[in-house]
Structure 1
Amino acid sequence: MEITQAHSAHITGIAEIYAWHVLHGLATFETEPPTAQEMHSRLTKVIESGGYWLVALEAGQVLGYCYLAPYRPRYAYRFTLEDSIYMHPEAAGRGIGRALLGEALRLAEADGFRQVVSVIGNSENAASLALHRSLGFQLTGVLKSVGFKHGRWVDTVMMQCTLGAGDTTLPVTSTTLSGRAGTV
């Protein structure tokens, strides 16, 4: 298995994985799968905003993906990211998600980010909750019944992971962060 920066060649696999979760799962509150073109637009936006989008590949096939994007657009949030992670259903339980998210967190910490927030759809999503806990995320809250999907009310779970020195030291200058953008 290889973990690498996502790019255009991975969009079909990314879109297929996400479509499965949209149609069958509760991790995302989207109800209509976005097109591959829309997923490419999202990838571009994440990368151009200084975020990270990684894929796990095996024999050229996308097994899963993880991205860290700016948490909110307001400037004061510039040292905080939000994660999203989705696995191909047949690749679940193999440690691939942990490898993906672990690498994304490592990159973000090296670049000076201080916090990562996770908004996990479905408080019964034991695998995602365990994954995040295993990488240092702590529960910060539950928003009860804020979504309605597949005929039921669904919670979202808020978790947070401190990177590096967290809030114990001043951050690096914003120019260090804003100058890091890749190509798609």
Structure 2
Amino acid sequence: MSDILIRPATATDLPAITAIYADAVRTGTATFELTPPDLAEMTRRFETLTGGGFPYLAGLLDGRLGGYAYAGPYRPRPAYRFTVENSVYLDSATHRRGLGTALLRELIAQCEARGFRQMIAVIGDSANAGSIGMHRKTGFELIGTHPAVGFKFGRWLDTVMMQRALGEGRETAPEP
């Protein structure tokens, strides 16, 4: 069995995170970006999220950074302030080894601890069975599909929307 460690990401992780994301942009449909952002842009994004109090995690598999996950604002308007959108990206060599699920479980726990009440997954490509399955395994429910909203690699792509309650969800009003 592989040794998995999940910890807060640091600035020293950003070159590996940038490489993982660049591969996802160039070869996959999980993200609808078409040009991989450079290290400076990924650093800016990291600092914006962590500076805003959102969790950003590094996942190590057998001592090597094999993936990362973060939560950020779902939408900018204030009424959405208790809802986050999650992102999980893995090095292709670490797929199907439990790292993505471990990252997402820890991300859920950290978002609950911060008082967030809902988590949204916007999954690129309805054929992305791995991501859809990982989200189902961690308590997400399918809430809808936006058909043919992205165009990448010469074809139209859907986004799959999934949602999971955090903590008390909608059962009580959140703390101000």
Query: TM-score, normalized by length of structure 2?
Result: 0.95
User: Is contact 2:49-2:55 (8 Å) kept?
Assistant: yes
What residue in structure 1 maps to residue 156 of structure 2? 153
Higher relative contact order (CA 8 A, sep 6+): 1
Amino acid at match of 1:4: R
Instruction: Determine the C-alpha separation between the residues in 2 that align with 1:57 and 1:161.
Output: 25
What residue in structure 2 maps to residue 11 of structure 1? 14
User: Is contact 2:7-2:58 (8 Å) kept?
Assistant: yes
User: Is contact 1:49-1:70 (8 Å) kept?
Assistant: no
For residues 109-138 of structure 1, what are the alpha-carbon distances to aligned partners after superposition, in whole Å with 9 as ceiling and x for unaligned?
Answer: 122110000100000000000000011111
Listed as ranges, the gaps of 5+ residues in structure 1 are: 174-184
Residue 123 of structure 2 corresponds to residue 120 of structure 1: yes
Identity of aligned residues (%): 47
Query: How far off is 1:61 after superposition?
Result: 2.7
How many residues are treated as equivalent by the alignment? 173
Instruction: Determine the C-alpha separation between the residues in 1 that align with 2:103 and 2:62.
Output: 17
Secondary structure of the residue aligned to 1:66 is: strand
Amino acid at match of 2:23: W
User: Is contact 2:68-2:103 (8 Å) kept?
Assistant: yes
What residue in structure 2 maps to residue 23 of structure 1? 26
What residue in structure 2 maps to residue 162 of structure 1? 165
Residue 59 of structure 2 corresponds to residue 42 of structure 1: no
Query: How far off is 1:59 after superposition?
Result: 5.5
Aligned partner (choices 131, 134, 139) of residue 136 of structure 1? 139
What residue in structure 1 maps to residue 109 of structure 2? 106
Listed as ranges, the gaps of 5+ residues in structure 2 are: none
Amino acid at match of 1:166: G
